[in-house]
Structure 1
Amino acid sequence: MIADVNQDVDVTVAGAGPVGLILAAELALAGVSVQVLERLAEPDDAMKAQSINIPTAEALDRRGLLPAAEQVQRETLARVGALAEWVRDRTSGAGGPASQFTGHFAGMSLDPELVDWSDPDFTAHAAASGARIVPQRQLEALLAEHVARLGVPVHRGVEVTGVEDTGDGVLVGTTAGSVRTGWLVGCDGGHSAVRRLAGIDFPGAAPELTGYQAVVDIADPDELGDGWVWSAQGVYRCGPQPGRVAIMEFGAVADRTAPVTLAELQASLRRVSGTEVTLTALRAPATRWSDNTRQAATYRSGRVLLAGDAAHVHPPFGGQGLNLGVGDATNLGWKLAAVIAGWAPEGLLDSYDAERRPLGAWVMSWTRAQIAVLRGDAKSAALREVVADLLDTRDGATYAVKKIAGVTQRIDLPGEHRLAGRYAPDLWLRDGSRLTDHGHDGRFLLLDRSPDTVFTHLAAAWPDRVRSLAEGHPTGAAEGHPTGAAEGHPTGAADGHPTGTPAGLLVRPDGVVAWASDIADDDATADLTAALHRWAGAPTSAPERDTLPEPSPSLGSEPAV
């Protein structure tokens, strides 16, 4: 396989985790030649993130992978029956299916019966909620099949050893020889070789704890408490899956490069729990992590880019790192493809850093706050009591779960519409399909519910980049369905959400709403034209009706490469 590494491709992606695989798939979908280099000879079986958030589930949905992800959830729940029973018990009467699990904040479990599942932010993103319990290992397998169908080669056992940006490309040194590539993207984790070799700084805070995830056999489980248990040394949890343990030990910074041993786990658990508990076996490779919190000084240096943990690291609470990285990949993929295809508007590629950096900074703050609450000192214990009281309210639980689920994420984009910069809500069309069903090819989607389909006629000047869906109902309701939902899908509509269903909606390939309008007037048409120029570049043909208004100023002053 190593001998087959391509010597001249548009993009080389370093790292075959979920971030690298999704990025490679997005590029291939846009017609870019891409290959993936992975240092490890085999997929990593260590326990990592056990679930995904709504934006990640919706990213899979946009590419037709939702049924496969839903199947993974069913298989996962069947495999860990105790966890499935626990989820069912916890969500009974909570107003939502078992997939609407809540998670925790700093070890404090969030009660699903307190959560307002009718909150518009939840109901607007309900279609993908059945694909949340997707462990990282199964997600990687699903994505590996996806990139294989797209013809993307994944070369395992190939390590990046050198990076030279030549201005018109990148010369990549690898253990399989030199590779010439147009662009190099480091998706190779927190210890990214690409970031280091490209000379990109990685400022942040040093770790103060070591954490572990593992599934073990315990000789004397009665020695340990149920749920999350705090001590002066840290915090641990047993369950809900039989044999699963999570440990966070303050003041212990272990060597993260060595495999986790049973003896190391037992020693840490004994110190944190204050018991002489005995672990007899590891059922699967364990994971070691820390609260090392850093963000790359830039996500792009010339023709070298970073995504996922290569761009930001932080404690793994709630699987936020996996989900943040998937968002990076979907944001970067179509923009880099546009540059390579030659139609990217000015500054498009630089908008990747501008849009993703604030979200990375927020996740770092969210996880840092949990570290402050988790500490074993008296001040942190007092703070934990206050936070626990807040989370034990309807508003507090709903707020925290919305943040964990990712349903409130928003990018700062031009435009004053309430949907601008948010991930597109669930929208059912008159034929019973969903808007998302029409985005599998990676193009922009334009939903047009204007009376005379004026938006569709305008977007016809971008036929190869924009797929228009003309409904012809300015209120957003199909005949006989005043709520806007197709029959049999009462929860799939945006009705009841403060966003409503606009007369027109332009969705970027990454699912972000680039433009929306509740009415179809001259101002709306001018704003749509500006948005199309801003994001989809210059038109490739003349519009079908009238003359295009002048586009607004571009995203930035630096020309796209």
Structure 2
Amino acid sequence: MHKHHHPDIYDVVIAGGGPVGLFLACELRLFDLSVLVLEQAEAPHSPLKRLPFGMRGLSAPTLEALYRRGLLDDLIAAQRANDAAGKTATPAHWMQQPRRPAGHFAGIQFYHDDVDTSKWPYRLPSPADTSMAVSLETLETVLARRANAMGVEIRRSFSVDEFHASDKDVTVHASAETFRGRWLVGCDGGRSAVRKAGAFDFVGTSAEFTGYSVEVEMADPEALSPGRHYTATGMYTYARPGTIAMIEFDGGAFHRIQPITLEHVQAVLRRVCGTEITLTSLQLATTWTDRAYQAAAYRKGRVLLAGDAAHIHSPLGGQGLNLGLGDAMNLGWKLAATIRGDAPADLLDTYQMERHPVGADVLDWSRAQVAIMRPTQSTRALEAIIRDLIETRDGATYFAERVWGVSLQYDLGSAHPLVGRSVPDFELIDGTKVGGLLREAKGLFLDFDAAASLRTLTNRWRERVVYVASDVRDRLGLRAVLVRPDGFVAWASEAAADDEGASQALSRWFGEPMDADGST
């Protein structure tokens, strides 16, 4: 374990040591900032983080973020170790299918062989695939290991109660102790104490159903048929011998109201499946709803929100974790540059400008799925239409784009179709991939023509931007590309040596240039 020197004031205090808090902490440590993570759980392990309930699908932007920071290999190795130890998932109900499922919308499956990836001209082959399944426990273990190795201070059994922010710092009260930080980031989940204590507006739509994920033993496991089933009162998915997910359209009445008993689960299951099932034991149970809320502002002064603290929605389609990790990747370098004093004045405002619309889209995507699951005749009719659409090539491609996060593009005010998108994994002539050049979280200026004027220009930002003069195997019609530390394209040009455009883009994202002698 690291021997920590406890500073009087940390650069950043992060409330919450889940994947979002840990990933953000690692991002900030890349810039040598002092980071304290306060996590209320005593131990990182819980049955709900293990399979089957801890299974999460990672989207393209998440896998790219992990790849660019050298964490993807760690994650794959940890997955393999789990496989070897026999800790893998029982095959899901779709594993018996001849076609490879690529995802679903409200339980309506789409398939890899229907997706037309040629519609995505700015994706090049990369170790980061479009999707991968991982258990929450594995992901958290990998991130905690990295955070520890980087010198993040993680303190467990500390629950943030309140804080007092001034225009210089934030005093955080957690479990009868006091900590000071220049900034505080709430990554403390859907019931965020930071969001509540900071009186952030939290707006959205209330629940229509209570969802249950349970592990049970049944008197007759054959009494239910495996797979996903819509019923007169809701929906259930069953995998033998005893894994059940079900939803009952009760307005979210039962969520977190009282302990979940065997009798209650049996009663709900009987109502939802319309069969007199008898349960003999309840091993694990958790509830969830489709309540969809979002913080109106992700920042108030020196306090910021990320992950579920900033947005909550139903777990349908598994977008929440990806959304939170995307927040962390977007926020880390911007907050670090702000603290270090080399950021443009409005850089931190772009966190809200870029991530709030992405969150709003995911909330709407989850609401749209709920609308197709309601147990009404009109909903069944609508579902049949969506089912037909998703089976077309264009339909499957559209749903894959949304579910895998391939369509993610920030509006950076440029007409160029690549600007605001994740940088393609260009392969330099020497075989180096761009993804591997982003480890240190610096900007990258890719100059495929090696133009002398662009080298001279970029040199004035050399502390913050790495200049790479090399041709690549596939230029995608481009001659120069400026990549932000988070791997998103800030500027791209098809013209040789577009100095003025490049200069404006560098100033906008990386602040004032340094003079030739190294001063700003």
**Normalized against structure 1, the TM-score is what?**
0.85
| Contact 2:255–2:287 (CA under 8 A) maintained in structure 1 | no
AA partner of residue 163 (structure 2): V
The answer to whether residue 65 in structure 2 is matched with residue 59 in structure 1 is: yes
AA partner of residue 173 (structure 1): H
- Give the C-alpha shift of residue 7 in structure 1: 4.7
User: Counterpart of 2:462?
Assistant: 463
Measured in 1, the distance between the counterparts of 2:96 and 2:333 equals: 39
- Give the C-alpha shift of residue 537 in structure 1: 0.8
User: Counterpart of 1:386?
Assistant: 385
AA partner of residue 530 (structure 1): Q
Alpha carbons of structure 1 residues 457 and 371: separation in structure 2 relative to 1, 3 Å? same
Measured in 1, the distance between the counterparts of 2:318 and 2:489 equals: 25
AA partner of residue 502 (structure 1): L
| Contact 1:236–1:245 (CA under 8 A) maintained in structure 2 | yes
Q: What SS is found at the alignment partner of 1:347?
A: coil
AA partner of residue 143 (structure 1): L
AA partner of residue 135 (structure 1): S
5+ residue gaps, structure 2, are: none
User: Counterpart of 1:178?
Assistant: 178
User: Counterpart of 1:537?
Assistant: 511
The answer to whether residue 44 in structure 2 is matched with residue 68 in structure 1 is: no
AA partner of residue 536 (structure 1): F
User: Counterpart of 1:510?
Assistant: 486
For residues 33-58 of structure 1, the C-alpha deviation after alignment (integer angstroms, 9 at most, x for no partner) is 11100111122431345221111011
- Give the C-alpha shift of residue 76 in structure 1: 6.1
- Give the C-alpha shift of residue 8 in structure 1: 1.7
Measured in 1, the distance between the counterparts of 2:63 and 2:241 equals: 27
The answer to whether residue 91 in structure 2 is matched with residue 83 in structure 1 is: yes
Measured in 2, the distance between the counterparts of 1:62 and 1:88 equals: 34
User: Counterpart of 1:45?
Assistant: 47
For residues 212-244 of structure 1, the C-alpha deviation after alignment (integer angstroms, 9 at most, x for no partner) is 2234434422222332101121101113x8643
Between Structure 1 and Structure 2, how many residues are aligned? 509
User: Counterpart of 1:159?
Assistant: 159
- Give the C-alpha shift of residue 75 in structure 1: 5.3
Measured in 2, the distance between the counterparts of 1:353 and 1:416 equals: 21
For residues 458-501 of structure 1, the C-alpha deviation after alignment (integer angstroms, 9 at most, x for no partner) is 21111211112110x3xx43xxxxxx3xxxxxxxxxx7xxxx25
Measured in 2, the distance between the counterparts of 1:467 and 1:63 equals: 16
Alpha carbons of structure 1 residues 82 and 540: separation in structure 2 relative to 1, 3 Å? same
After TM superposition, the structure 1 stretch with the greater mean CA deviation from structure 2, 393-402 or 122-131, is 122-131
User: Counterpart of 2:247?
Assistant: 248
User: Counterpart of 2:299?
Assistant: 300
| Contact 1:6–1:179 (CA under 8 A) maintained in structure 2 | no
Measured in 2, the distance between the counterparts of 1:427 and 1:272 equals: 51
User: Counterpart of 1:277?
Assistant: 277
Alpha carbons of structure 1 residues 72 and 243: separation in structure 2 relative to 1, 3 Å? farther
Alpha carbons of structure 1 residues 275 and 460: separation in structure 2 relative to 1, 3 Å? same
| Contact 1:446–1:456 (CA under 8 A) maintained in structure 2 | no
**Which protein is richer in strand relative to its size?**
2
5+ residue gaps, structure 1, are: 93-100, 478-483, 485-494, 549-561
User: Counterpart of 1:137?
Assistant: 137
Q: What SS is found at the alignment partner of 1:352?
A: helix
The answer to whether residue 416 in structure 2 is matched with residue 417 in structure 1 is: yes
AA partner of residue 492 (structure 2): A
| Contact 2:122–2:418 (CA under 8 A) maintained in structure 1 | no
AA partner of residue 157 (structure 2): G
Measured in 2, the distance between the counterparts of 1:294 and 1:265 equals: 27
Alpha carbons of structure 1 residues 28 and 233: separation in structure 2 relative to 1, 3 Å? same
Measured in 1, the distance between the counterparts of 2:217 and 2:356 equals: 41
| Contact 1:9–1:180 (CA under 8 A) maintained in structure 2 | yes
1:181-260 equivalences in 2 (<5 Å):
181-239=181-239, 243-251=242-250, 252-256=252-256, 260=260
AA partner of residue 149 (structure 1): A
Alpha carbons of structure 1 residues 130 and 201: separation in structure 2 relative to 1, 3 Å? closer
| Contact 1:49–1:319 (CA under 8 A) maintained in structure 2 | no
| Contact 2:202–2:294 (CA under 8 A) maintained in structure 1 | yes
| Contact 1:72–1:134 (CA under 8 A) maintained in structure 2 | no
AA partner of residue 325 (structure 1): G
AA partner of residue 40 (structure 1): A
For residues 255-286 of structure 1, the C-alpha deviation after alignment (integer angstroms, 9 at most, x for no partner) is 42766444443332222111222344455x44
Alpha carbons of structure 1 residues 113 and 543: separation in structure 2 relative to 1, 3 Å? farther
Alpha carbons of structure 1 residues 131 and 320: separation in structure 2 relative to 1, 3 Å? closer
Q: What SS is found at the alignment partner of 2:111?
A: coil
Alpha carbons of structure 1 residues 443 and 381: separation in structure 2 relative to 1, 3 Å? same
- Give the C-alpha shift of residue 203 in structure 1: 1.2
For residues 144-165 of structure 1, the C-alpha deviation after alignment (integer angstroms, 9 at most, x for no partner) is 1110111101111101111111
CA-based RMSD: 2.6
AA partner of residue 506 (structure 1): L
**Normalized against structure 2, the TM-score is what?**
0.91
Alpha carbons of structure 1 residues 428 and 326: separation in structure 2 relative to 1, 3 Å? same
Measured in 2, the distance between the counterparts of 1:130 and 1:517 equals: 26
| Contact 1:410–1:423 (CA under 8 A) maintained in structure 2 | yes
| Contact 2:444–2:468 (CA under 8 A) maintained in structure 1 | yes
| Contact 1:125–1:407 (CA under 8 A) maintained in structure 2 | no
Alpha carbons of structure 1 residues 243 and 540: separation in structure 2 relative to 1, 3 Å? farther
Alpha carbons of structure 1 residues 53 and 88: separation in structure 2 relative to 1, 3 Å? farther
- Give the C-alpha shift of residue 190 in structure 1: 0.9
The answer to whether residue 365 in structure 2 is matched with residue 366 in structure 1 is: yes
1:304-315 equivalences in 2 (<5 Å):
304-315=303-314
Q: What SS is found at the alignment partner of 1:235?
A: strand
User: Counterpart of 1:29?
Assistant: 30
Percent identity for Structure 1 against Structure 2: 43
User: Counterpart of 1:488?
Assistant: none
- Give the C-alpha shift of residue 360 in structure 1: 0.6
For residues 108-131 of structure 1, the C-alpha deviation after alignment (integer angstroms, 9 at most, x for no partner) is 121333222444369536421187
For residues 73-122 of structure 1, the C-alpha deviation after alignment (integer angstroms, 9 at most, x for no partner) is 44566744652895595456xxxxxxxx5121111121333222444369
